[in-house]
Structure 1
Amino acid sequence: MTTSLKYAAVILYVLISISDLSAQIDTVRIKAKLESLRAAAYSDDGKNSSAAIALIRYNYEVQPYTALKQVDHFLPKFESDKGIYAYLLNLKGLILRRTKNFDEAAEVYKKAVNIKRELKDYQGLSEILINYAYLKLVEPDYSGAGEFLIEVSSYMEFIKDTRIEADLYNALAILDFILKRYESCRSNSNKALELSQKIDYLYGMADANEHLGILELTLKNHAKAGDFFDRVIKFRISTDDLAGVAGNYDNKALIASRNEDYESALKYAFMALDIREFCSPGEGAATSFTIIGSNYTKMGKNEEGLRYLYKALERRILYNDKRGLISTLRQLSEAYERIGDLKQALNYYRQFKAESDSLQIEKNARAIEEYKHRFNLQQKDIQLKALQAENQFKGYLTLGFGVLVIIAISIIVFVNKNNKKIHSLNKQLEEKNRLVEQNAENLKQSNEQLVKLNKEKDVLFSVVSHDIRNPIMAFLGYSSLIEDDLEVLEKSEIKSLLRKMNNAAVNLNNLVENVLNWSLLNLEKLSIQHDYFDINKEIKKVNYMLAGIAEVKDINIEIPPEEHVQVFADRNVTNLILRNIVTNAIKFSHPGSRISIHTELVNSHAAVHVDDSGIGIADEILEEIRKGYVKSTSGTGNEKGTGFGLSLCFDLAKKQGGNIEINSEVNKGTKVKIILPSYPRN
């Protein structure tokens, strides 16, 4: 069969599949039902709360953007009825989450929660808290989600609502999945499924099957995952949950693509697109465009694939969908890499990295604000505890003195008659003394904690106020020089200044990433997303990014040959580790020297070796870095640094299930070995 005939066969196969979909999704019936619900809701001046809720709830499933307009229309009409008003706020939160307006959804949920607490309506409160917990998982704030679900669990004894209990187990299952507690995820999903089946709760059965499908997909059990997703699609169709149907056709497309069955992948992706164009035209279609474009390029249909990927990119930008934009940019980079256009691949990879970093910086900025808030609260709490301990200590001293006087009098007066009473008083005195010692120890620990927090604060504020300023001032200085003397500067001089500006920007980016990741580690909020990828490709990207810095010192970096070395780790975190290690090697290498990078597979791990012949690291400094102390040292070109990088790399490697080994001799050089897992740990 010729290429054109194969292509025509694919198109025909997709069109037949979409016609099959039309038979499953009865759009005529859905439109008629919407019109009927709308007529009921808007009659009687829109004061029928049951009809308004029914319309908004149904439109949430089939046309969420329309539902958002409707809930805003009806909310003011029921502001005086707090119960109905809170329920409508809960619906609005669901709609905002589905349309990816996460910040606004959080504010709406807060209002609804406060009203339900005021009304002491624990059943309604539980429903809202479960929905709010799902939003917390997106932010991500896993501890916040966990707190909400624990609170709901405490209400279950007296609520006795099987539907809410099923929803609770489903929410716990997805939290377990995110935290990689897979067996617990399976157990909670099965509990949710069992409870839902008892009361024929279709939404609960759909959610439970979807969670089990996602779990099997992650564990690469594609056949099992496909069976679960087929069940979910049937449940979603029966409830007219069109967005849910489209999402699970996406899951089926992903399975087919992983199995290299690209025709089936296109079939499911076009089915999802057909639904999205009906229920959420515009932004929703971008997801389907991305999947379709990626699979066309995998089939070698590059022109068609890029056309769909660019359509997805256009929609992402139009609707300001940052998370979706990151996904599409990455797919474009991988598509151009498959085509062999490395220049465009690198261009879109840079855009992907910039958008990823921008989103991460926003998250990290919120984390730092939370860190500052927690720091201030902890300081006040420690000071309060110290004051309480001091007052208790003084009280016990006074009490102890009084007890001693009583004992002395008792001994004098009743020495022969009250031995038992004296013994009892002695035991009381021992207990009081023990409490005094315990409070003194608590005071000591509180002071030590305060000292530690102050040190962390000083380190963070020092870097923000001083070290970040240096590359910014360098960048401004070089740019001002070009602006002032552009007409008289030689082309080579302009190129040199631009290279220095780029180096300053690279250094600033690395510094900001290090500080923000250090902050997240201290807050225990850094999330590691393991995935399979080729470590040699990451080394190649890092080499390209740091080439300008190495060129300034005439340092030659030797990288591994084009061969696949698989690791199972977080791609972005690993890229950060590589950048820090290679940047350090450049920093401490002599001009005109060589840096060697090579990889090897050892049992279930991959190792990246970075060797230089620079000035080396003294043993005592290396030991302090391993312990987490920040040590800054100037490079061979008097380059400045914060000392965060190497210490941070040790922690990030361990957090991924790996390690870093360093052998160094002063004035002879340093050999760094980065060890990362090749497969998931059991």
Structure 2
Amino acid sequence: MFRKKIVEKSARFEKDTYFNEARSSFLQEKWDSTLVYTAKQLVLKNNDPELTNYCHFFRGYSFQEKKLFEQAEQSFLKITPDFYFYYHSKAFLGGNALEQHKFEKAIAYYKSVEHLKTDQDLFLEKSRVEHNIGLCYLHLQQFDKAEYYLLKSTKMHETANDTINLVSSYGDLANLYYEQYKDEKAIPYFEKAYQLSKYVSSFNVKATTALNMSIVEENKKQYANALSYRKEFEQWNDSVNNQNKIWNTVQSEKQIAILEKDKDFRILEAYNNVKIAERNGFIYSSIFLLILLGAGTYLYREKIKATKIINDQKKALNELNTTKDYLFSVVSHDLRSPVNALRKQHHKLQQQVVAQDFESLQATIETSTNISESMYGLLTNILHWSLEQRKQLLFQPKVSSLQPIITQVIFDFESLAAAKNIVLTIAIDNTIMANFDRESLKIILRNLIDNAIKYTPEAGTIEIHTSQTELHSHITIKDTGIGFSQEQLNLISNLKEITISNIDRAKGVGLGLLLCTTLATKNNGELRMTNNKTIGATITIVLPNA
């Protein structure tokens, strides 16, 4: 039953080769092989804690069977309390100490399992534990305690009809009383032990009981009976000696086998150490090569990244230079004419003041004012464009209503439209909410409304209205001005990437339009421009919905 329980509880470790061999050897009582294979299993790293406990248990048991008590104790003491056979190891440690006449230590070990019940499945007998505790107290000459435990265990053996253990119990009780000179109690137990020994096969038990009876009869002055028992003792003792000789021969052969297996194990261990060293060398070399490869890859990527940064910076620098050249071109081209016109107006104004031509003076002042406003708008666009190109234009998109922004910008241009008798038709839905940057939308609206008024003739019309789809909000500016040529519309539709290099001022797409298109794109929207069917143009600002 003990073997079956060992097999059942350790079944989950059958795939561990060394352990499987160790368990097989243990069950076949091949103690040397058990020790060799458990040692091999323990050398391996990352063993399951329960598997380690089994190895120590098998080793302790094997050492004890080989009478190597110190090694047995060392192995059993390594077993942890959560192990299924933990209390067995305590019982075996008690037997180990008893064999070495370390009686107090034996008592401590036995008392740690005294509370357990007899369990045949687990090879644990309470009666044997009680008997051994009593035997220890007997050797320590604590006779009261010895008597208590020996009588207790004897009753258990009598109840179980355990003949071999009863012989031992009767003999120990007889010795207990004999030590105290209580012959009247001792002799009946000697006689019971002798009678029962006839039914056991152990030569040692037969010899011991015969010797005890010889001593008893000798003390009773029954020398003939004593001599008869002595002869019987000699016969059984010779049998024991013959058996011991055979045992010693077998033990010698086993010791030689152990030495051979130890030698094989050391060779195998040395071989494993060489293999481990080779494996570690390979691992360290691989790690070094991987680090080297990683460092090379990292440096190569850093080089590519640095090259890309340099190229991007070069591209950005070229773009900035192009922007600078374009701005100079705008300033020189677009400012020269109005400045020259303003200079002529000032001369004319001077002449009219001298001539006191007050009727013409008002018209000249208005013309000068219009030229100044145009120059101011152009300078404003140049400033905004420059800030946007250098990423210095504050940009904070957020959800807002379109109505207040449009109304504010239109208010600034109402007087200018009225001066040209232009009719402004406004239809703004105050419920439309979009996601945009307020200041950039104002710049777009100012440029587009200013252009619409500038290129719409006297008594024309400008319509400004809003609308909304599922995804976008629209601000539409429709005028009856000069519109766009087809060439201009084609150029505008091809401006996929808004940069200075896309713009050709000779074809009429200037800075204001470029600025509006750029800011609309930055708002995640777009600028749509079409000619009306009859006259004028329609420009739609598309913005994402809230």
TM-score after normalising by structure 2 = 0.38
TM-score by length of 1: 0.31
Structure with more of its chain in helix, by fraction? 1
Rg larger in structure = 2
